[in-house]
Chains A and B, each alone.
Chain A
Amino acid sequence: MTPATHFAEREHLICAVSRVIEEEKSYWVGGGGEPLYSILLAQRLYASGVQYMTEDGVIAPQSMMPWDPLMTMVASRAGYRALQWGTMNTAGNFAQLGYVDVGILNTLQVDRYGNINSTVLGEYEGGQGRRFGGPGGADTIAAQCWRTILMTDQQKRKFPERVDFISSPGFLDGPGAREANGLPPGTGPWRVFTPWAMFGYEEKSCELMLMAISPFVTVDMVLAEMSFEPKIAPTIETLDPPMEEELEIIRTQLDTDGQTTGRGQWIEKRDGKYVFAETQGRE
């Protein structure tokens, strides 16, 4: 594979997540966009047999791309050649039974304990906050998959000390809180990916921990885009840049019109280093 020299940060995000997808694990992919593209990319390059399900009870589809806008579920191309078709409770039951190893989700806000907000920015009480759509399937994914991978942007407002509203559970208040609230033991947040960094969680404290950064940023740049200081792993790895082969698939098969990956900044290789690009957009 050939390291790419010009790419969007969201393309990099999708590539980074696709590389942690394991063939022998099962996945629940929330909605469309980056989570879906990550697993579809993994199927094409790294884990051809990996199976995923979606919230409408589609089990292990061989989906036909591309899709019309918003047609991510209860739509023929999304559920094409699945092994089973069910309903929302089919998906919920499989996760509740322990059959789903990893959930992949986009999120609006994530905090120190991996709690997820997709309901409101600002105060809920009084109704003056800015409202969003609610958890959808994310509450079930975050509660019941053995592991959860979150995808979001590296922005201060996306990483508050405490989310404004816990729509879907991370570790709640810390060790033991999930079990005390009736969630299955051994489950919970596992990774948070942004275009700039990869985080895990410190086992003992259940707190977010910086593990790796992208080749075009520094640790300080990442920390400056967080409202709290996360734990820092003893060794900070550097994530590989996207490969040309990955980008080719994203651009020609997955996000063909750039609706998902077109937003955000672009990166280029200049004088042997990855830096933010002067020119944005696909060439």
Chain B
Amino acid sequence: MEILAEGQGAYLPPDPDGFRAWVRDNKPRTLVPKMLNEHEAIEKFVSDGDYVAYDCNYFQRGPSSLIREVIRQKKKDLWVCGKFTYVALALLVEGGCATRADIGFVGFGPWLSKAVAAGRLRTYEYSNVVMTYRLQAGAQGLPFIGVRSFGGTAGFSQSGAKLVKDPFSGKPVVLLPALNPDVSIIHVHQADVYGNARVFGTGISHVDCALASKRVIVSAEEIIETDEFRRDPARTSIPHFTVDAVVHAPFGAYPGTVQGRYASDVQHVVECFGGTMRGDLQPYLEKWVYSVDSHDEMLEKRVGWKKLQELQRRETIREGYSI
């Protein structure tokens, strides 16, 4: 295949055969209970230097409690899949955890310019859909995927993409390297102890994240019986055999929303977003991450039952969420 142009950005090299071997050797084929607490799950399945994807983000059905736990455990040198992200990357960079990011969209502000200028963060440029197509290719066990976008942009030059002559039509087409993260962290509405999981409403790339990743941590608002899945199998979003750990995390997306369950905490969102815009997130991290030992402790000491009830009350729409 003739290569017409190629980006100069570093990228996680696709290795579909390696991934298959990983699946063969590491993913259990039977129903194995996988319940861990947040500390155990992050300690066991997130390692320094990992490529990490999370689905959705800190404000919208994202694994916020687990992102805080990653920061609390001071994981280092993570390479982050920065798609559809408001503040999660900022928190991971300011927490000293992330040093590289593939960017689709990230909430910006002085923190980003400063981190890049100081060399604390190296960025590679993509777009949101380009990143979710990379995950789709990873989830299909393919080495790359062709797309009809991204060509000719400056992002292309700073990425791992290539423009080639399509061997079938002879026309130019962009190829993206498949993405198989070392670990994905996904927050869902419901899961069973084996990792079968349900997401209601829209999402960004939760199924592909689960299928494409070597290790998968699912946090769930609610743990339900496996029989519930058998009664309505069409609603299973993620199958158990892709999942390595299940964490029971009620209000796990806090301060974000989980559709059909609770609204976002507006005051908290403004406090956190404000920190990124001011370029100083240390007070935020101290208050909400370092000074508490766990998500439960944060909810008890910093949020309180009254606020949580208010967030549930404010989420008035139930249609479509099967809850």
Chain A residues at the B interface, C-beta cutoff of 8 Å: 55-58, 64, 68-71, 73-77, 79-81, 85-89, 91-92, 96, 119, 124, 127-140, 143-144, 165-169, 172, 177-184
Q: What are 16 A-B interface contacts by the 8 Å CB criterion?
A: A56-B204, A74-B201, A74-B204, A75-B257, A76-B321, A80-B317, A85-B201, A88-B204, A133-B108, A134-B105, A137-B105, A166-B154, A178-B151, A180-B152, A181-B163, A181-B174
Would B132 and A131 count as touching, CB distance under 8 A? no
Per-residue contact bits, chain B 53-72, to A (CB 8 Å; 1 contact, 0 not): 00010011100000000000
Measured CA separation A134–B163 after assembly (Å): 21
Chain B residue at minimum C-beta to C-beta distance from A72: B60
Contact B113 A139 (CB under 8 A): no
Q: What is the bound-complex CA distance between A56 and B107, given in angstroms?
A: 17
Q: Are A70 and B59 in contact (CB under 8 A)?
A: yes
* B261, chain A: closest CB distance, angstroms: 9
Q: Which of A127, A128, A143, A182 contacts B172 (CB 8 A)?
A: A182
Within 8 Å CB of B148, what residues of A? 96, 143-144, 182-184
* Cβ distance B256 to chain A, nearest Cβ, rounded Å: 9
Question: How far is A75 from B83 in the complex, measured between Cα atoms in Å?
Answer: 17
Chain B 117-156: CB-based contact to A (< 8 A → 1; otherwise 0): 1010001011111101100100000000001111111111
Contact between chains at A74 and B127 (CB < 8 Å) = no
Chain B residues closer than 8 Å to A86, beta-carbon distance = 202
Within 8 A of A (CB), among B90-113: 103-108, 112-113
- Contacts beyond the supplied A71-B59, A135-B155, A165-B154: 19 A-B pairs with Cβ under 8 Å: A69-B269, A71-B264, A74-B56, A79-B201, A87-B205, A88-B83, A89-B136, A131-B116, A133-B108, A134-B155, A137-B127, A140-B130, A140-B149, A166-B152, A166-B154, A168-B127, A179-B172, A182-B152, A182-B172
Cβ-defined contact, A87 with B132, below 8 A: yes
- B83 to chain A minimum Cβ distance, whole angstroms, is 8
**Interface residue range, chain B:** 35 or more
From residue 239 to 270 of chain B, which have CB atoms closer than 8 A to chain A?
257, 259-260, 263-264, 266, 269-270
Contact B204 A168 (CB under 8 A): no
Closest Cβ neighbor of A184 among chain B residues: B148
Binding site for A on B (CB under 8 A): 5, 56, 59-61, 82-84, 86, 103-108, 112-113, 116-117, 119, 123, 125-130, 132-133, 136, 147-156, 158, 163, 171-174, 201-208, 257, 259-260, 263-264, 266, 269-270, 273, 315, 317, 319-321
Contact A87/B105 with A71-B60, A134-B127 known, Cβ cut-off 8 Å: no
Among A81, A130, A140, contact of B128 (Cβ-Cβ < 8 Å): A140
Contacts of B202 in A (CB 8 A): 56-58, 73-74, 79, 85-87
The residues of B that contact A136 with a CB separation of less than 8 Å are 84, 104-105, 127-128
B201 to chain A, nearest CB (A): 6
Give B270's nearest chain A residue, CB to CB: A69
Least distance between A132 CB and chain B CB atoms (Å): 5
Residue of A with least CB distance to B120: A127
Per a CB cutoff under 8 Å, which of A85, A88, A134 touches B320?
A: A85
Q: Does the CB pair A87–B203 fall under 8 Å? A: yes
Asked if B127 contacts A76 (CB within 8 A), the reply is: no
Given A68-B264, A181-B152, A182-B171, answer yes or no on A139-B204 (Cβ-Cβ < 8 Å).
Answer: no
Q: Are A183 and B119 interface neighbours, CB within 8 A?
A: no
Closest to B57 in A: A74
- A119-B207 CB under 8 A given contacts A87-B132, A136-B84, A169-B152: no
Does A166 lie within 8 Å of B155, measured CB to CB? yes
Q: A69-B270, A181-B172 are in contact. Are A169 and B153 (CB under 8 A)?
A: yes
Task: Judge whether B155 and A183 touch: CB under 8 Å.
Answer: no
- The distance from the CB of A189 to the nearest CB of chain B, in whole angstroms, is 13
B152 touches A177 (CB 8 A): yes
The CA of A58 and the CA of B60, in the complex, are separated in Å by: 14
Q: Which A residues are CB-close (under 8 A) to B171?
A: 179, 182
Q: A128-B117, A138-B127 are in contact. Are A143 and B260 (CB under 8 A)?
A: no
What's the Cα separation between A64 and B315 when bound, in Å? 12
Q: Which 4 A-B pairs have the closest CB atoms?
A: A181-B151, A136-B105, A181-B152, A143-B149
- Name B125's contact: one of A57, A119, A169 (CB within 8 Å): A119
Which of A73, A88, A167, A179 counts the most B-chain CB atoms under 10 A from its CB? Answer: A88
Q: Do A134 and B149 have beta carbons less than 8 Å apart?
A: no
Bound state CA distance, A88 and B106, in angstroms? 16
Which residues of A lie under 8 Å from residue B106 when comparing CB positions?
A: 133-134
Shortest distance in angstroms between B315's beta carbon and chain A's nearest beta carbon?
6
B128 and A137 within 8 A (CB): yes
Query: Please, which residues of chain A bring their CB within 8 A of the CB of B207?
Result: 87
Return chain B residues, CB-CB under 8 Å to A169. Answer: 149, 151-153
Query: In the assembled complex, how far is the CB of residue B164 from the closest CB belonging to chain A, in whole angstroms?
Result: 9
Instruction: Give A56's nearest chain B residue, CB to CB.
Output: B202
Tell me the complex Cα distance, A178–B174, Å.
12
Q: How far is the CB of A65 from chain B (nearest CB, A)?
A: 13
Residues in chain A near residue B116, CB distance under 8 A: 127, 131
Q: Kindly state the separation between the CA atoms of A29 and B45 in the bound complex, as whole angstroms.
A: 37
**Closest A residue by C-beta to B204:** A88
